[in-house]
Amino acid sequence: MGKEVVLAKTTKDKIIECITYFFIYSFLGWLIETIYALFVHGYFVKRGFLFGPICPIYGFGAVILIIATKKLYKKPFLKFLIATIAFTLFEYMVSFILEMLFGLRWWDYSNDILNIQGRVSLLYSIFWGVIGVILLERLHPYIQTKIQNITQGNTNNIQRIACVCFVIILIVDTTFSAIRYLN
């Protein structure tokens, strides 16, 4: 009587939540890249590997960071260190894999000071650390609240259907993008 029943999230709900965050942050990453390129070049430049308006490296990076720092409340410097190291390692690994698979580089920091094979650089590593803290301290709590408000009281069927549709679209986009770069 008068008690709220709080249902624990199932593994399926947690997966759907991570997929939702992946697509949100992949799109936001694409948007940031596009605005940056527009500013630097003065015109629209297609960013990323895929045809669609997402950069999965941002989505994966954000989800990995959210999961890895879940218990680090009010420790922004530790979040900065983790974000800096995790994003730098992840960026290096993705650059290496894309180059091995397709023989192309999607970014090159060779002209930056303290770079490693042009794949990562100190300047961008620090930038990723700052972005990571902003993501974890400001952006993600806001997005998390908005998602919870939208899905609260619903059976989450719409979110599940949307995630399945987006995953299918991503698989198709990845397939056609890979074919394009392999030819």
Separation CA 101–CA 36 (nearest Å): 26
Total of domains in the chain: 1
Q: What is the pLDDT of residue 1?
A: 44
| pLDDT at position 136 | 93
DSSP character string of 37-91: HHHHHSS----SSSSSS--HHHHHHHHHHHHHTTT-TT-HHHHHHHHHHHHHHHH
pLDDT score at 104 = 86
Is 2 inside a domain boundary?
no
Structure-token pair, residue 57: 């490296």
Supply φ then ψ for residue 99, to 5 degrees: -70, -40
- Quick check: 69 and 82 in contact, CB under 8 A? yes
- Domain of residue 59 covers 11-177
Q: Are 164 and 12 in contact (CB under 8 A)?
A: no
Per the CB < 8 A criterion, the answer to whether 21 and 139 are in contact is: no
Q: What is the pLDDT of residues 125-151, one digit of tens each?
A: 999 999 999 999 999 999 999 988 887
Closest C-alpha to 84, from 10, 134, 40: 134
Q: What is the DSSP letter of 138?
A: I
Tens digits of residue pLDDT in 93-115: 999 999 999 888 888 999 999 99
Spans of the chain below 50 pLDDT: 1-6
Structure tokens at 2: 């008068």
Domain-embedded: residue 19: yes
Does residue 159 lie in a domain region?
Answer: yes
Q: What percent of the chain has pLDDT over 90?
A: 66
Say if 102 falls within a structural domain: yes
Q: What does R_g of the chain's alpha carbons equal in angstroms?
A: 18
What is the per-residue pLDDT for 153? 65
Task: Report yes or no on 1 lying in a domain.
Answer: no
DSSP, collapsed to helix, strand or coil, labels residue 121 as: strand
pLDDT of residue 10: 81
Q: Would residue 114 count as lying in a domain?
A: yes
